[in-house]
Structure 1
Amino acid sequence: MDKSSTSADNHKQLETETIMAHPSVDTNDAVNNNPASDLQQWQALSAWSIVSNIFTTLKSILSNGFAIVPIVYTGWQQGFDMQWGILASSLLLILVTIFAIIEWLKFRFRLNNHQLEVKRGLFFTKKDEIPLSRIQNIRYEQPFYFKPLSLGTLVIETAGSKSDEAQLAALDAQQAQTLKRLLLNLSHFEATLSVHQHSYANKQLSINNTQSITRKSLRDLILFGFYQNNFIWFAVIAGPIVGQFDWDKIFDSPMAQQFWLWVQQQTHQNIGLQTIMVIIMLFGIYSLFSLISIIAAILKYHPYQLDKHEDTIQRSGGVISHQQDALAIKRIQLVQAQQPIIARLFNRWTLYFKQVKGHEVEHKTKQHMLIPSVKPNEVESILANIPQLSGGVSVLPNSYTPISINWLTRRLALPLFPATLLSIIGYYGHHSLGFFEFIWFTTAMVMIALYIRYKQWGYVIADQVIWQHSGFFGQQWKRVAFEKVQHVTITQTSSQKQAQLAYVEVGLASGSVVFPYIPTSIAELIITRSLNAISHDNHNWI
């Protein structure tokens, strides 16, 4: 039979099925008025994309400029020239605006032969050809300045990329959603674009085939912002500024003296009560700084909802800038449940879906699509609602098999050697007792930290996955599906060989997961199950 006639018959049959299933749909209109056919031609962005480019560039400059905050503050204290500051800011804004206009004039995109083509550049034209099979995430953003205009931005990210492959700004909201669906659907099928044009009506009618996975309330997001507070980074930035204050004058001020007198009266000079009050004060300071994190969590995620649509999971939310992230389920390489120390007080977890290593959805620091403030019993229901997820196991383990104690014994010797050496030097140097107390107190603290770290290391093998447990004061679980394993590296020292232990590194497309000092029998089991899973699944690992 002639191949062309077979293809024509298939197209005709597809059109007939569409009309029979939905008599109100005109197939000719679906084909002729299909936006997919328009997207085959080079498309320019709206002039409003200039505004988006300006905001994006300024945001990037500010977000990467935290390190100069102490310098600016110090310069201001020493007599900063306001006129030069205004002039520099104006010049920066002019340059950014010129760059944004040039970017808009030279930017073009189109869908062509299973790939998204993007070209830009003033003196040298740069053309990116992005295969649809490589597209990993598609994020739809609608900043506050685009909401009244019904415009949005598509951010397209690919497997292994360290930056956004394409950012299509100021698209009409309907056009952006149509392009988003086409990019996701085309990446899953081998059919040509013409077939999708004929089946466009079917896709439009099936777009509401969405299953809810989870929703997060305002209270959940407030709790997430509280326990996910980046207080350390704030301290790094604020430290040099705080160093500019004259603390002697502050402590000698009447207000500080009255406050300390009130503390002594309330605690009746009891050291224990004073310690409790100091802890309460520190907790209050942490809560105050957490307001920034809480507000950021609400603005970014509220109202948080995660849905499953066909073979993708889609997150939406955002108060000022609305976002919609779409991630193909088969791209998920690893599931990680993380519980910081403060989250342990509330028994909440943050669930991450880790993808192919590169620039990820949530943050530039390789954070991934996440579910905030998850209760332990919710983890099972969330993973169970994604049956396409590799491995099959969805229950968070209650216990784990610890790694060998040899890991701890070998590391406890490390702080003992320099402490002993310094003590000998101090003895012959006639140092004071305080010198020795400091050395051995520091050594004891290091040894305690090593013990805590050791107690957190462990693993669980269940069905077609292996869980890794780790942490310090907080804890985390990593769920590795054997069919996602790219390679397994086993390293053994001479002492490990004698003890039949091994250092195992499991390589995934999202990075490596390390299992230190585990029995060689477990290492061989990991290899066997990984090879067995791959031998029964010859699909592309992404």
Structure 2
Amino acid sequence: MDKPSTADNHQPHGTEAVVTVQPVDAASSDINHTLTDNINIASDLQQWQALSAWSIVSNIFSTLKSILSNGFAIVPIVYTGWKQGFDMQWGILASGILLLLVTLLAIIEWRKFRFRLNNHQLEVKRGLLFTKKDEIPLSRIQNIRYEQPFYFKPLSLGTLVIETAGSKNDEAHLAALDTQQAQTLKRLLLNLPYAKTLSTSEHSQVNEQDSADTSQTIVRKSLWDLVLFGFYQNNFIWFAVIAGPIAGQINWDNIFDSPVAQQFWLWAQQQTHQNIGLQTIMVIVVLFGVYSLFSLISIIAAILKYHPYQLDKHDDTLQRSGGVISHQQDALAIRRIQLVHVQQPIIARLFNRWTLYFKQVKGHEVEHKTKQHMLVPSVKPAEIESLLAKIPHLSGGASALPNSYSPIHVNWLTRRIALPLTLASVISIVGYYGHQSLGFFEVIWFATTMVIVALFIRYKQWGYVVADQVIWQHSGFLGQQWKRVTFEKVQHVSITQTQSQKQAKLAYVEVGLASGSVVFPYIPIQVAELIITRSLNATSHDNRNWI
């Protein structure tokens, strides 16, 4: 007979023994396993790493996308050639040769591409005949974007795009990385400048715990918000550039003489009863419908790129995630933000929505880098103050949009009105002696009046607000925008005065930031001197690098 256990000896009669089993903490085990994997990945990244062969696919798609995105200008040419009898065989042959060359270049890029993380810098080398090596200090890294195209999702692969301050293009493009490797590398690139060591498991565990504790969701955007964003952010000018030459190839006479067009015009006349006002309203409704139809492209693009939109604050870093087909994660260090730009196009004013941009250090090409700024779409006015309040480390502190602003001096308007008035007067005098018809003078002065009205609207939108730590600039035409400049980020202030401005005690002020310049025209000289004083005071108290 087995000897009863001590627990059995102390168990009262008539009751069942309760055996306590210590559970295994599965979550802790998973965390420790993940930390170990991250440490191993971090150690491997110190050696030269090759990209996965799947990066060939990414390079092919990226090159073709670049060719197509920069080839809008050839759309009218292709359309015209097709209308005049395009040779399909030559087209297929040219496309095949292009695809073959792109594939060959992608294979060479994959074979010669290497990267490693060494001594607080990311090193990248590539090239066939001539090896090019880039050494990117981590202190220069401005934005890290994680992308996962649809063709990488089943493979659990992703791409890291690393942008640096002042660069013309993306500094490094690491394609087809394992998801865990990409996320670990992204964390190391963001945290290495502030850590003494990253090799011990204790420090990694502290970082993981701190990240979990300090992660905060700042804003989420619904599907409807993105639909509104795509609708009001539509850039109609690109449609005009492409459609204009194509429209020139269409025989409009045949279209207008068609039975459908004649029936529509007869119906419109019957509905409006030959009333010019009602016909004008109908034309406006038709144009709005055409704009809405074209906006479908912009709406779909906004949904595919941003849904489900989420902006998180992770320690001292902002991270935006979203994307339906191609998942993206943008990481931006808060200290890199140079300017907060809040924009409201004319269509957005109907919905009382704004688009908020966190502008970074620009590269050599302003147009290229502008598209890379992190943005928050479809923001309500009440959300702006709440959003900025969740980023206390943002220079200048949080602040709501001002309710009003001080206008620039009226001299700005009078000096600009003088030119079209003078030009119209000279043309009228010449036309009078040339015996021009009355219609000639009506056209000249109608155009002059439209120019003056446009200048007046522009003048009414110019203004500024000077606060303790920031200065706001208001501008716009039919839409409006606010630019929030922090005195801590000001790199230089340029003051220009003409002779007339000196007499009126006015100045033309240009405030220089690492993200570009902000101009305040025709403001009082006292305000200009105040901007200089507060900028110098902010720099003297905090002389760290502006960038």
The 1-side partners of 2:521 and 2:197 are apart by 48
- The aligned counterpart of 1:119 is 125
The 1-side partners of 2:463 and 2:454 are apart by 17
The 1-side partners of 2:372 and 2:132 are apart by 29
Corresponding position: 1:413 with 2:422: no
Shift of 1:473: 0.2
Residue of 90, 105, 108 corresponding to 1:99 = 105
Matches within 5 A, 1:210-359: 210-358=215-363
Is the alpha carbon distance of 1:468 and 1:26 closer, same or farther for their aligned partners in structure 2, counting shifts above 3 Å? Answer: closer
The 1-side partners of 2:223 and 2:144 are apart by 26
Which amino acid in 1 is paired with 2:304?
A: L
Q: Retained in 2: the 8 A contact 1:114–1:193?
A: no
Which amino acid in 1 is paired with 2:395?
A: S
Which amino acid in 1 is paired with 2:134?
A: D
- The aligned counterpart of 1:78 is 84
- The aligned counterpart of 2:10 is none
- The aligned counterpart of 1:4 is none
Partner secondary structure for residue 417 of structure 1: helix
Which shifted more, 507-516 or 31-40?
A: 31-40
The 2-side partners of 1:354 and 1:520 are apart by 28
Q: Retained in 1: the 8 A contact 2:474–2:482?
A: yes
Q: Retained in 1: the 8 A contact 2:463–2:474?
A: yes
Stretches of structure 1 lacking an aligned partner (at least 5 in a row): 1-21
Residue of 471, 495, 502 corresponding to 2:507 = 502
- After superposition, the C-alpha distances for 1:473-517 in whole angstroms (9 at most, x for unaligned) are 000000000000000000000000000000000000000000000
Q: Retained in 2: the 8 A contact 1:360–1:367?
A: no
Runs of 4+ more than 6 Å apart: 22-27, 359-363
- After superposition, the C-alpha distances for 1:339-396 in whole angstroms (9 at most, x for unaligned) are 0000001000000000001289997554510000000000000000000001114111
Is the alpha carbon distance of 1:185 and 1:73 closer, same or farther for their aligned partners in structure 2, counting shifts above 3 Å? Answer: same
Q: Which has the larger radius of gyration?
A: 2
Shift of 1:533: 0.7
Is the alpha carbon distance of 1:322 and 1:188 closer, same or farther for their aligned partners in structure 2, counting shifts above 3 Å? Answer: same
The 2-side partners of 1:458 and 1:76 are apart by 51
Partner secondary structure for residue 526 of structure 1: helix
The 2-side partners of 1:41 and 1:58 are apart by 32
Is the alpha carbon distance of 1:364 and 1:245 closer, same or farther for their aligned partners in structure 2, counting shifts above 3 Å? Answer: farther
The 1-side partners of 2:155 and 2:499 are apart by 68
Corresponding position: 1:449 with 2:454: yes
The 2-side partners of 1:287 and 1:54 are apart by 34
Which amino acid in 2 is paired with 1:47?
A: A
Residue of 153, 165, 169 corresponding to 2:171 = 165
- The aligned counterpart of 1:199 is 203
Shift of 1:207: 3.6
Which amino acid in 1 is paired with 2:323?
A: G
Q: Retained in 2: the 8 A contact 1:135–1:187?
A: no
Shift of 1:198: 5.4
Matches within 5 A, 1:13-32: 30=36
Q: Retained in 1: the 8 A contact 2:392–2:398?
A: no
Stretches of structure 2 lacking an aligned partner (at least 5 in a row): 1-27
Q: Retained in 1: the 8 A contact 2:310–2:321?
A: yes
The 1-side partners of 2:227 and 2:146 are apart by 24
Is the alpha carbon distance of 1:97 and 1:269 closer, same or farther for their aligned partners in structure 2, counting shifts above 3 Å? Answer: same
Q: Retained in 2: the 8 A contact 1:139–1:323?
A: yes
Corresponding position: 1:141 with 2:147: yes
Is the alpha carbon distance of 1:144 and 1:32 closer, same or farther for their aligned partners in structure 2, counting shifts above 3 Å? Answer: closer
Shift of 1:529: 0.5
Is the alpha carbon distance of 1:435 and 1:289 closer, same or farther for their aligned partners in structure 2, counting shifts above 3 Å? Answer: same
The 2-side partners of 1:386 and 1:380 are apart by 10
Q: TM-score, normalised by structure 1?
A: 0.93
Percent of matched pairs sharing the same residue: 81
Is the alpha carbon distance of 1:430 and 1:33 closer, same or farther for their aligned partners in structure 2, counting shifts above 3 Å? Answer: closer
- The aligned counterpart of 2:480 is 475
The 1-side partners of 2:267 and 2:38 are apart by 80
Which amino acid in 2 is paired with 1:355?
A: Q
Q: Retained in 1: the 8 A contact 2:146–2:330?
A: yes
Is the alpha carbon distance of 1:507 and 1:163 closer, same or farther for their aligned partners in structure 2, counting shifts above 3 Å? Answer: same
Is the alpha carbon distance of 1:118 and 1:361 closer, same or farther for their aligned partners in structure 2, counting shifts above 3 Å? Answer: farther
The 1-side partners of 2:51 and 2:522 are apart by 55
The 1-side partners of 2:197 and 2:165 are apart by 22
Matches within 5 A, 1:369-384: 369-384=374-389
Q: Retained in 1: the 8 A contact 2:461–2:476?
A: yes
Q: Retained in 1: the 8 A contact 2:363–2:369?
A: no
Partner secondary structure for residue 541 of structure 1: coil
